[in-house]
Amino acid sequence: MGPSTATRAGQSQKEATVNEALVATDVLLHPAVEAVVTAPPASPANGQCWLVGASATGLFAGQTNRIAAWTEGGWRFVAPREGMRAYDIAAAADRLFASGTWHLAIAPTAPTGGSVIDSQARAAISAIISSLRTSGMLS
């Protein structure tokens, strides 16, 4: 007795499963997103990704916080996991997924004013802020 029709059909479509796995791998290995959006971009290019913001509309409705990747087969949505990072191209900084949302670290204002000025402390703080911006940890 040979394999069932369902088994044969599933076996003949394994390239679709492999292709989907490769798309997910491509999105997740080095996640870089264009920006946070609430509606699908008009003319996405293959491989471009976005973070879906709150109150999303159209094809993005119900996909809040997911990474939306445009592929030859259309939109693919990847759910983030706690601790996941993605580079936000528009913000020029990393985002961290924690406690159910994507967080973007905003750089603190460099020190100014005050009655006692410690130039060495200010220089050190400015260097730290600059280093964090260069590393993509702050926008």
pLDDT of 8-62, one tens digit each? 555 566 665 777 777 777 777 778 999 999 999 999 998 899 999 999 999 999 9
Instruction: Report residue 139's pLDDT band, with 50, 70 and 90 as the boundaries.
Output: low
Q: How far apart are the first and last CA of the chain?
A: 64
Across 76-96, average pLDDT: 91
Residue extents of the structural domains in the chain: 5-104
- Mean of the per-residue pLDDT values of the chain: 82
Which residue reads 């603190």 in tokens?
A: 108
Q: What is the pLDDT of residue 55?
A: 96
Structure tokens at 29: 């290995």
Beta-sheet pairing, 85-88 with 32-33: parallel
